[in-house]
Amino acid sequence: MILPALFVGGLFYVTFTRTPQAPQQLVIQGEALGTSWVVKSAEPATDESKQELRAIVQSALDEVDAQMSTYRSDSELMKLNGHKSLDGTVLSQPLVEILSEALEIGRLSEGAFDVTIGPAVRAWGFGPEKLHRSPAADTIERLAPQLGQDKLRLEQGKAYKAHPELEVDLSAIAKGHAVDLVIERLTKTGRQNLLAEVGGEIVARGNNPRGEPWRLGIEAPNDEQRSVHQVVALKNAAMATSGDYRNYYEVDGSRVSHLIDPRSLQPVTNQLASVTVIATRCSTADAWATALSILGLAAGLEIAERLSLAALFIVRDPELGFVTKTSTAFQQLE
């Protein structure tokens, strides 16, 4: 169900609501994957068990980092990117599974989601250096031959490149996968009422300490201040949000979004401020939130309806401000 909006403290994109006089609960938090993480459990814990749970969370996140980071030269993903031969590269099962899901979402989104887009994102100034400047006229043209998921093939646990310079970047799905893995590991300890968040991507299991679904605030896409646009009750589901309202720069008064359309290799210019997707798995929600943001409202809503995706679109309207549009599947959650 959708609950009335209220102000909450800030996490990235999606924020946990604060319930007055909530029963005692476990809260642990830290940093990993270049962002913050928080885990809440309706069941309290001793100091000793709290440290054990923290170690479980950190181990899961370290595992994802070692497999999928683009900031570590020794990660499995970066070894794949550095392999210039067209011979197949053997991958771990988790990396095969996430790459398979990413390629399938790329196909279903008609190319709006593409894990080979990283070089174009960097060219537009959104790489680790955050140069925030537009590329030279011929830069994107030179990059085009090495981009496109049609140049990447998975077969029997191996990845095959059709271009030696092809790179894979899982930034738009890895954090979602990380939250899924954290929840999977924690539920093996017997805890059934959990909320985990990594960099704004969230998975909820069971209920909050009051025995109710976890209450989560979808952030209003406001450049200047943080506030809640809508509050959602989430149980046994995952939620992810993608938006351009905090990661952009301006050139001659025009906004340059960090969301680069793989089909045109240009920053998106649609009127979407953010897209929130609710799904069974957070990797799925994470990737689709990005894909729908790139597609724009009309095409994004059409695909959401066709695939029964639960999606909430926040649209910039010059006269009305922010306008909300939701898919049928999202409305059925209300």
* Total domain count, the chain: 1
Q: Identify the pLDDT of residue 15.
A: 44
Encode pLDDT of 129-172 as tens digits.
777 788 988 999 999 999 999 999 999 999 999 999 999 999 99
Q: Identify the pLDDT of residue 268.
A: 96
Encode pLDDT of 52-87 as tens digits.
999 999 999 999 999 999 999 999 999 999 999 999
In a domain, 128, yes or no: no
Q: Identify the pLDDT of residue 12.
A: 33
In a domain, 144, yes or no: no
Q: Identify the pLDDT of residue 225.
A: 66
Encode pLDDT of 264-285 as tens digits.
999 999 999 999 999 999 999 9
Q: Identify the pLDDT of residue 133.
A: 83
The single residue listed with the structure tokens 């050139």 is: 251
Q: Identify the pLDDT of residue 44.
A: 85
CATH number reported for the structural domain that contains residue 321 in this entry? 3.10.520.10
Q: Report residue 245's pLDDT band, with 50, 70 and 90 as the boundaries.
A: confident
In a domain, 168, yes or no: no
Phi/psi at 233 (5° precision)? -95, 125
Structural contact between residues 299 and 270, judged by C-beta atoms closer than 8 angstroms: no
Distance of CA 14 to the CA centre of its chain: 11
Helix (H) or strand (E) holding 32: strand 26-32
As a whole number of Å, the end-to-end CA separation of the chain is: 4
* Token pair for 233: 């009750």
Question: Which amino acid, 286?
Answer: D
Overall pTM > 0.75: yes
Q: Identify the pLDDT of residue 223.
A: 66
The contacts of residue 125 (CB under 8 Å, 6+ apart) are 131, 132, 133, 134, 135, 249, 256
Q: Identify the pLDDT of residue 22.
A: 54
The contacts of residue 101 (CB under 8 Å, 6+ apart) are 173, 283, 284, 287
Report the percentage of the chain scoring pLDDT > 90.
76
Question: What mean pLDDT do residues 295-318 have?
Answer: 97
Count the Cβ atoms, other than its own, within 10 Å of residue 165. 13
The closest of 95, 232, 263 to 170, measured between CA atoms, is 95
Domain that includes residue 319, residue range: 2-44+191-331
pLDDT averaged over every residue in the chain: 90
In a domain, 284, yes or no: yes
Q: Identify the pLDDT of residue 60.
A: 98
Structural contact between residues 305 and 327, judged by C-beta atoms closer than 8 angstroms: yes
In a domain, 120, yes or no: no
Q: Identify the pLDDT of residue 23.
A: 61
Structural contact between residues 208 and 19, judged by C-beta atoms closer than 8 angstroms: yes
In a domain, 309, yes or no: yes
In a domain, 165, yes or no: no
In a domain, 184, yes or no: no
DSSP 117: -
Q: Identify the pLDDT of residue 301.
A: 98
**For residue 3, pLDDT beyond 50:** no
Q: Identify the pLDDT of residue 224.
A: 67
Find the range with the poorest average confidence among 102-111, 165-174, 211-220: 211-220
Phi/psi at 180 (5° precision)? -55, -45
Q: Identify the pLDDT of residue 249.
A: 87
E strands, 227-290, where? 228-234, 237-243, 248-251, 254-257, 260-261, 266-267, 272-279
Q: How far apart are CA 329 and CA 66, in angstroms?
A: 35
Count the Cβ atoms, other than its own, within 10 Å of residue 95. 25
Q: How far apart are CA 257 and CA 121, in angstroms?
A: 10
